[in-house]
Structure 1
Amino acid sequence: MNAGRPAASDAAIEFETLADDAWLLRLGRSIDDGLNARVHALAARLRLQAPSWLRDVVPAYASLAVFFDPFAIDAAAARAWLRAQCEHAHAAAPSPAARSIEIPVAYGGEFGPDLHDSAAELGVSPQVLIARHSERDYTVAMIGFAPGFPYLSGLDPELALPRLATPRTAVAAGSVAIGGAQTGIYPRPGPGGWRLLGRTPLRLFDTARDAPSLLQPGDRVRFRPIDAQEFARLQAAP
């Protein structure tokens, strides 16, 4: 399979060997909402076709990883099939039905230790930052970094903030943050360098659920500000 060598571009999509059982399809190399929408449309088309040898389809911002069963199909045949799907993606791409999910968030204080400094850096009040962050509709562009971590596109460009110069060694699960031109939610405790604005009591990743990740690529997300009392009530709910 010439592991590690990128193949030539097919219909403006580059095919790269990701593993002996996976191809990486690059539709571009930038963070762009339109490009990400093409990635999700192609992912939906592949899932709709669902050949028996197709194991998984994993979308990112501008690329799509496709895993196949190497005992059921060889890499060249899988690539040929994928190439054909890419050629028809624009004319017959399905429109995936996006779920709309509300994420309650307690902003500031112990929940969002970077809210005030971030607002000051942006030249707005904390209340204005909360309002502008929570009034937007976001799209889950991809899941990455950690299991269940959603990278959300749609952040107001004027709210973009650089990452912390020194990342924290511990970030609470459910922390809602801004990193560069993106916003996201930490699903589990761990290190992180994004600006923490608030926290949600919802569990973003739970292995006890049939679908461990609460959010999936392509989902639509809106944040709803809540107070500490509602946070405690929702956190205690089964």
Structure 2
Amino acid sequence: MAKIKPQALLLQSKKKKGPSRISLVTIAIYGLIVVVMAFFLFTSYRHWNRRSNFQEEDNLSSAEHDSFGDSKKVDVPKYAVITTSKGSITVELYKEGSPEVVSEFIKSCHKGRFKGMLFNRVIKNFVIQGGDVNRPGNMEDWTSRGKHYNQLDTSLKHEAFMLGTSKTKHDGGGFDLFITTAPIPDLNEKINVFGRVIKGEDVVQEIEEADTDEHYRPKAPIGIIEVTLKQKL
């Protein structure tokens, strides 16, 4: 049997003890694991960071909404100045007693629906009305009431110089205005009262004295120039 030289044995020993090489597949697997872990950590960070930002925005939005809501409650106008071709009529709005009607009235003011509106029906010792004179069935009802106002019950349910609007919904979002010129007992059946005249009663009376035709329409146009909302007088 041939003897192995010491030098050859030393070389074989070094080869056995030396580190084994890492394959490319193993490197790829470890690299993939690192990438997946990094992606997972980055995704988790973005998720929690965005969630925190959303919570802050929601809190800020809620605070702004509450603040806006409070300011709207505080800033609801208490008065309306109705400027007519005969002069100005100042009205105190019953925002607590008729909040929905007052809200609709304010919206109509902002949209300018009252600019140019005519007082199309003037019945002495009864009401003056601005709105749509062509609504079917409306003219006969109100004119008959005007003719017989002296025969109404004397128990007062509706005072003079009250501002109201018809309880009947208007097509196209219209909004008519009634101002009573005498205590009328049964108007609560027809009108939602949402204010009262506190200044300009003489203007109301002047409009009331206008010459009218047989349908109680003023012979000379009397209209609303504008309505100004105010928090304080």
Do both proteins adopt the same fold according to a TM-score greater than 0.5, normalized to the shorter chain?
no
**TM-score for both structures, normalised by structure 1:** 0.34
Which structure carries more relative contact order (alpha carbon 8 Å, separation 6+)? Answer: 2
Question: Which structure: greater strand fraction?
Answer: 1
**TM-score for both structures, normalised by structure 2:** 0.35
Question: Which structure: greater helix fraction?
Answer: 2
Larger Cα Rg: Structure 1 or Structure 2? 2
